[in-house]
Amino acid sequence: MAGVATALALGLALSACGSKPSASASGGSSTLPRANTSFTACMVTDTGGINDKSFNASAWAGMQKSQKDGKANVSFLQSTAENDYAPNIAQLVQQKCKLIITVGGLMGTATADAAKSNPSQHFAIVDSNGNGGNVHGMQFNTAQSGFLGGYLAAGYSKSGKVATFGGQKIPPVTIYMDGFVEGVKYYNAQKHKNVAVLGWDESKQNGSFTGSFTDSSKGQTIANNFIQQGADVIYPVAGGSGLGGAAAAQSSGGKAVVIWVDTDGCVSASQYCNVFLSTTFKDVGGAVTKAVEGAAGGSYATTDYIGTLQNGGTGLSPFHQFDSKVPAGLKSELDQVKADIISGKIKINSPSQPKSS
């Protein structure tokens, strides 16, 4: 997303809201031609920012599509720390944005508080539930795509060891990791194999985390440790930190590949396409565009959207450079597993699966 927004210094003198933003809080607006409309949609990013090659970037792309479609004029404020959330939201309320979109489950409390204090203001939030009123939740059952990723990893692995790690231990992260583990277990049961998963114990809800969505060096360290232990497929669920996992795979001399998350890695982080086996995506951009354009047309969503394999809100991206290396039989099995998840034949047990408000 580099180059799609112009960095603008935004003074946030918001002592009245009770939370002081970090000095480096910044924002921007689309470089696309302005839409011929008075409708404004404004976004608050999580700490990863619009260049995270992940869900913030996807959300901003969805915002920009609404402007390209002539439905809204869009802008964003970037959070560089969690204490930016509340003042950034308050700034957009003061700007009288018609729809405020917050990105990330970590912003759930700040969004809910702002919605309660401003009942006539419309909000939408990515990766958290709404309130059935003035907050529209956009959630994704990525345990389903994670399951496909786990099955793919187990079927592709030559060492019999695969691994995953997260950015922070929060439901939008662990849901992917749960699905991944369950997919590996299902592969083992179907094939009478014993592929091991490093980095996450679903039953104990405990595993490896960088503690950050921006520090790629931490992701690289964790991934290198997994590779040294014999893992040849790495599944980072850590935003920008996860790029360190891709760097580790790229430096491994062919010992490891990566399954990316959120947005097709070969599109969002093409410099690592040669190690991206696939991506378990969630269509954040599509959900954001639908929310903005619906609101611009006078229809503010009050019930939550949940992206699934069935409605295309989540899934498995193409294999790109690995297409010829993934056996035809494994591809067919993945198609069947997908169908069985959709039909309910395969049950997924992740406790982090979303529920509507």
Taking only the tens of pLDDT, the chain with its 357 residues reads 333 333 332 333 233 333 344 444 577 777 788 989 999 999 999 988 888 888 899 999 999 999 999 999 999 999 999 999 999 999 999 999 999 999 999 999 999 999 999 999 999 999 999 988 999 999 999 999 999 999 999 999 999 999 999 999 999 999 999 999 999 999 999 999 999 999 999 999 999 999 999 999 999 999 999 999 999 999 999 999 999 999 999 999 999 999 999 999 999 999 999 999 999 999 999 999 999 999 999 999 989 999 999 999 999 999 999 999 999 999 999 999 999 999 999 999 999 999 866
Class of domain 8-140+285-307 as given by CATH: alpha beta
Residue 61 parent element (H or E)? helix 55-68
Would you call 280 helix, strand, or coil by DSSP? strand
At 170, list the tokens: 């929060």
Residues 6+ apart with CB under 8 A from 204: none
Yes or no: say if 303 and 357 are a contact pair by the CB < 8 Å rule. yes
At 323, list the tokens: 């297409």
Rounded to the nearest 5°, which phi and psi values hold at 75? -155, 170
Q: Could you give the CA distance from residue 352 to residue 357 in angstroms, rounded to a whole number?
A: 14
Q: Could you give the CA distance from residue 86 to residue 354 in angstroms, rounded to a whole number?
A: 24
Yes or no: say if 10 and 80 are a contact pair by the CB < 8 Å rule. no
Q: Is 336 exposed, middle or buried (0-12, 13-18, 19+ CB in 10 A)?
A: exposed
CATH architecture of 142-282+327-343: 3-Layer(aba) Sandwich (3.40)
Give the strands of the sheet with 314-316, arranged side by side: 196-198, 161-166, 233-237, 257-262, 276-282, 314-316
Three-state SS annotation for 107-154: HHHHHHHHHHHCCCCEEEEECCCCCCCCEEEEEECHHHHHHHHHHHHH
**What pLDDT does residue 171 have?**
96
Which one-letter amino acid corresponds to residue 144?
Q
Rounded to the nearest 5°, which phi and psi values hold at 169? -85, 80
Task: Give the single-character DSSP code of 237.
Answer: E
Give the number of other CB atoms < 10 A from CB of residue 55.
Answer: 26
Give the number of other CB atoms < 10 A from CB of residue 356.
Answer: 12
Which residue ranges does the chain devote to CATH 3.40.50.2300? 8-140+285-307, 142-282+327-343
Would you call 65 helix, strand, or coil by DSSP? helix
Task: Give the single-character DSSP code of 273.
Answer: G
Would you call 192 helix, strand, or coil by DSSP? coil
Q: How far is CA 336 from CA 68, 261, 283, 331, in A?
A: 37, 21, 22, 9
**What pLDDT does residue 6 have?**
30
Give the number of other CB atoms < 10 A from CB of residue 286.
Answer: 19
**What pLDDT does residue 357 have?**
63
**What pLDDT does residue 5 have?**
33
At which residue do the structure tokens 């959300």 appear?
A: 59
Closest-CA residue to 183 (of 247, 95, 278)? 278
